[in-house]
């Protein structure tokens, strides 16, 4: 079992930037498909971006051109660079790792964007 720990959330003004990090507790990280999800109050959890083992990326439409997902397999980490933040980006952001039929979640980190 792998543990995922997110960090980097906080309060930022609209137009600002944040970089989220997710650290994995074990090796073989390079074999995991990694993703960032978010959940705003009263809404369902939604996929923000994912990155495959080969480095292919996919983004939710509203974050395309503003967010960038990346991974550093040597550090067992995945990142989400968030630029041009908007109040509607306010949510708890979760890191998810998937390998085979196993899925693991982090505890989440709060991102609040003030207008």
Q: What is the pLDDT along the chain (115 residues), one digit of tens a residue?
A: 789 999 999 999 999 999 999 999 976 888 899 999 999 999 999 999 999 999 999 999 999 999 999 999 999 999 999 999 999 999 999 999 999 999 999 999 999 999 9
pLDDT of residue 83: 98
Residue 25 backbone phi and psi in degrees, to 5: -85, -10
* SS3 label, residue 2: coil
Phi-psi bin for 75: left (phi > 0), alpha (psi -120 to 50), beta?
alpha
pLDDT of residue 45: 97
pLDDT of residue 26: 74
pLDDT of residue 98: 94
């Amino acid at each position: 079992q792998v543990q995922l720990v997110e960090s980097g959330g906080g309060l930022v003004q609209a137009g600002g930037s944040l970089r989220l990090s997710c650290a994995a507790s074990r090796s073989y990280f390079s074999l995991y498909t990694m993703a960032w999800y978010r959940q705003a109050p009263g809404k369902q959890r939604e996929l923000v971006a994912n990155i495959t083992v080969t480095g292919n990326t996919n983004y939710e439409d509203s974050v395309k051109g503003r967010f960038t997902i990346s991974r550093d397999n040597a550090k067992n980490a995945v990142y989400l660079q968030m630029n041009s933040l908007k109040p509607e980006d306010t949510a708890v952001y979760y890191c998810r790792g998937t390998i085979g039929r196993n899925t693991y979640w982090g505890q989440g980190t709060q991102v609040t964007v003030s207008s």
